[in-house]
A and B are shown apart, each in its own frame.
Chain A
Amino acid sequence: MSASTLPARSVKGPIPAVLVTLALGWLALIIGAPFATVLAEAFSKGLGTFLAAFKEPDALAAIRLTLLVAAIAVPLNAAFGLAAAWSIAKFEFRGKSLLLTVIDLPLSLSPVVSGLVWVLLFGARGWFGPWLEGAGIKVIFAVPGIVLGTILVTVPLIARELIPLMAEQGAEEELAATTLGAGGWTVFRRVTLPNVRWALLHGVLLCNARAMGEFGAVSVVSGHIRGLTETLPLHVEALYNDYDFVGAFAAATLLAGLAVVTLVAKSVLERAMPLAIR
Chain B
Amino acid sequence: MDPLHVTLVHPLRSFRLELELEVDRETVALVGPSGAGKTSVLRAIAGLLRPEQGRVALGDDVWLDTGAGISLRPERRSVGLVFQEYALFPHMTVAENVAYAGPRRAGELMEQLGIAGLGNARPGELSGGERQRVALARALARDPAVLLLDEPLAALDAHTRVRVRAEIEDLLARLRLPTLLVTHDFQDAAALADRVGVVVDGRIVQVGSPAELIAGPASPFVADFTGGNLLRGTARPAPSGLTEVTLADGSRIFSTDRLEGHVGAVVYPWEVAVAREAPADSAQNHVVGPIAGMVPVANRVRVRIGPLTAEITAASVERLGLRPGEPVVASFKATGTRLVPLA
Q: Do A and B come from one complex?
A: no
Residues of A within 8 A of B (CB): none
